[in-house]
């Protein structure tokens, strides 16, 4: 491994950037591995440590880890500041107590969440106030030297931190100083976000962290102060390179932060906004006004995601149209649209490569005028339970050369199924999307004719997922006529019917490298079907999932299936 080029190692570690256990273990291998692991650990240090905040088992030991990380960050900030000012002689008494870090950790930081930063500072404060920390005499002396250096106060060698802890303004003053040093010393931030864990229904906080999210807590005071980082010296240089901005907490100071952000950040590539239901209408209006200003100021916006919002005017689409030359990914989730005219202009975003519409209510019985054929460069299309479910296709206006780039198609209408819309959109896909690689359809298919058209017109399909929970359909004719030589993954859910002979014909003609076969709630699958799978796929089958079967398979066949899968797995391991 020591002979690997540095570029190669960097790519290897990029796959481990979210795995803190593996990164920490890599530190102990050798100096080169240590350097790459440290770079990834410190790209987003507060999020990596405080990922534990989504764990109800977060305890005092986890708090100590956070406290030590923040202390190392502060030490790095102090060393950088004194090195840049060249005032070591003036502060030598303080600095003799402060260790010199092995790396310049601050230089590795590329992502900051203002909520995580504030929460980490509070956890550090609670850590230094803990009884366990108060018993470590040498650590307390170092800590007092750190406080004195940052706050320019007289340093005491006493073995206690009480003079600082009893100062009510201490935590606010020290955190403000740290934030200012971060803005000065971080040469470039790639991502900044405002995401509150307290507002997410998916996160169950531990008792330790719940106290920080009370409105009267110091956490709110600190994070409110951090919302004003744009006014700090060095913020223009630090924030001007940001390409990713995520906003999921609409507090008043956050809205002001977004208003000020266009003054320094004009090269954002991705913007995410999540307006939760607990937000007041007035706050939502102010937030969207700030968002429009932010979008208008960008030079080349590429991705935009909007969640849990009510579109009651054409302003949003009009602003996005200004970015139509560069915008290639659009995600809407749980949106309510009061009038279809407000979103009909989405079709003007002709350079979209990914379009996702997940849930939401259009509050209209008219068909939604958004069709895959509006976008010449579309590669990924995903519709999930929108209402109403009808989508206008306008097939008479379509050039057959369009949609040739579409590689992934997902159409899910489990709750709000419309046969006419499903038939219409599947016919469009079969006619104008001939290069599909992934096909997923959760809607009930009234006839297998549309399904056969898609599978025959897309011979390069690699993944097929079809769910049909109520209408039994026979696939024998389809299996006899379809040939898919690239097929790798198949998942069928519901009362699909097919005979062993038809399955054998399909596998014999296609000879697909099928490694995963999933069958859920099937009424027709028997021993003969499984015999065909084992015979035709013994060299490629890696995973077989049979769930909710109406007919019990024989024990011998199940053992053989496990043996076939294991043989393939161990042969693959031997090759590797």
Counting residues of the chain whose pLDDT is more than 90, the rounded percentage is 16
Q: Which of 387, 384, 315 is nearest to 345 (CA)?
A: 315
Q: What is the pLDDT of residue 88?
A: 44
**CB of 105 within 8 A of CB of 38?**
yes
pLDDT digits (tens, 9 = 90+) for 301-326: 999 999 888 888 888 889 999 999 99
Q: What is the pLDDT of residue 284?
A: 78
Q: What is the pLDDT of residue 575?
A: 32
pLDDT at 92 over 50: no
Q: Which tokens is 166 given?
A: 């009893």
Mean pLDDT computed over 38-56: 72
Q: What is the pLDDT of residue 327?
A: 93
Mean pLDDT computed over 252-259: 85
pLDDT digits (tens, 9 = 90+) for 110-131: 888 888 888 888 777 777 776 6
pLDDT confidence bin for 91, thresholds 50/70/90: very low
pLDDT digits (tens, 9 = 90+) for 482-501: 999 999 999 999 888 899 99
Q: Which of 392, 384, 346, 345 is nearest to 365 (CA)?
A: 392
CA separation for the pair 210, 204 (Å, rounded): 9
Element (H, E) at 358: strand 354-361
* Rounded to 5°, angle at Cα 295 from 262 and 301: 105
Counting residues of the chain whose pLDDT is more than 70, the rounded percentage is 73
pLDDT confidence bin for 479, thresholds 50/70/90: very high
CA separation for the pair 323, 193 (Å, rounded): 22
Element (H, E) at 7: helix 6-14
**Residue keyed to tokens 């929108």:** 386
Give me the phi and psi of 441, to 5 degrees please.
-140, 115
pLDDT digits (tens, 9 = 90+) for 222-249: 777 777 888 888 888 888 889 999 988 7
Q: Which of 559, 564, 554 is nearest to 529 (CA)?
A: 554
pLDDT at 188 over 50: yes
What ranges do the domains of the chain cover? 1-41, 56-242, 462-576
User: From residue 179, how far is each of 121, 129, 149, 216 by CA, in Å?
Assistant: 10, 21, 15, 22
Q: What is the pLDDT of residue 399?
A: 43
Mean pLDDT computed over 504-513: 92
Q: Which of 136, 8, 7 is nearest to 68 (CA)?
A: 136
């Amino acid at each position: 491994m020591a002979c690997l080029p540095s570029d190669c190692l960097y790519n290897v570690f990029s796959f481990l950037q979210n795995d803190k256990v593996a990164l920490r273990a890599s530190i102990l291998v050798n100096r080169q591995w240590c350097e790459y692991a440290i770079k990834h650990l410190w790209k987003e240090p507060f999020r990596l440590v405080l990922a534990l905040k989504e764990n109800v088992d977060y305890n005092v030991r986890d708090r100590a880890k956070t406290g030590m990380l923040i202390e190392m960050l502060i030490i790095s900030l102090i060393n950088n500041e004194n090195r840049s000012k060249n005032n070591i002689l003036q502060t030598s008494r303080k600095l003799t107590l402060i260790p010199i870090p092995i790396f310049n950790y601050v230089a590795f930081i590329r992502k900051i969440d203002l909520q995580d930063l504030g929460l980490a500072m509070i956890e550090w404060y609670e850590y230094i106030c803990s009884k366990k920390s108060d018993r470590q005499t040498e650590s307390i002396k170092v800590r007092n030297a750190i406080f004195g250096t940052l706050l320019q106060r007289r340093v005491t060698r006493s073995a206690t931190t009480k003079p600082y802890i009893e100062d009510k303004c201490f935590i606010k003053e020290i955190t403000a100083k740290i934030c200012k040093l971060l803005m000065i010393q971080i040469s470039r931030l790639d991502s900044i976000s405002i995401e509150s864990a307290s507002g997410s229904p998916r996160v169950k906080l531990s008792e330790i962290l719940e106290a920080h999210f009370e409105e009267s807590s110091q956490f709110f005071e600190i994070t409110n102060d951090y919302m004003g980082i744009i006014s700090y010296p060095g913020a223009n240089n630090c924030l001007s390179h940001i390409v990713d901005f995520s906003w999921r907490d609409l507090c008043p100071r956050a809205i002001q932060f977004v208003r000020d952000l266009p003054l320094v950040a004009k090269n954002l590539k991705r913007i995410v906004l999540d307006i939760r239901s607990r937000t007041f209408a007035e706050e939502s209006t102010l937030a969207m006004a700030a968002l429009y200003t932010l979008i208008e100021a960008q030079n080349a916006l590429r991705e935009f995601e909007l969640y849990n919002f009510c579109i009651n005017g054409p302003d949003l689409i009009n602003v996005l149209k200004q970015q139509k030359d560069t915008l290639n990914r659009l995600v809407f989730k749980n949106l309510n649209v009061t009038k279809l005219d407000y979103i009909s202009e989405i079709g003007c975003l002709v350079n979209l490569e990914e379009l996702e519409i997940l849930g939401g209510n259009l509050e209209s019985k008219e068909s939604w005028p958004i069709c895959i054929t509006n976008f010449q460069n579309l590669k990924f299309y995903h519709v999930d339970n929108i209402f109403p479910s009808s989508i206008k296709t306008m097939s008479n206006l379509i050039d057959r050369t369009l949609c040739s780039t579409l590689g992934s198609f997902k159409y899910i209408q489990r709750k709000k199924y419309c046969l006419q819309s499903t038939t219409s959109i599947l016919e469009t896909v079969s006619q104008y999307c001939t290069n599909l690689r992934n096909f997923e359809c959760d809607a009930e298919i009234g006839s297998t004719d549309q399904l056969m058209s898609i599978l025959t017109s897309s011979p390069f399909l690699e993944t097929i997922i079809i769910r049909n929970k109520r209408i039994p359909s026979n696939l024998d004719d389809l299996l006899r006529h379809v040939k898919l030589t690239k097929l790798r993954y198949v998942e069928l859910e519901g009362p699909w019917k097919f005979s062993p002979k038809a399955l054998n014909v399909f596998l014999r003609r296609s000879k697909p490298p099928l490694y995963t076969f999933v069958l859920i709630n099937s009424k027709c699958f028997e021993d003969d079907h499984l015999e065909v799978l084992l015979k035709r796929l013994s060299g490629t089958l890696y995973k077989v999932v049979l769930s909710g079967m109406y007919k019990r398979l024989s024990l011998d066949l199940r053992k053989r299936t496990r043996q076939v899968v294991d043989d393939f797995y161990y042969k693959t391991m031997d090759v590797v």
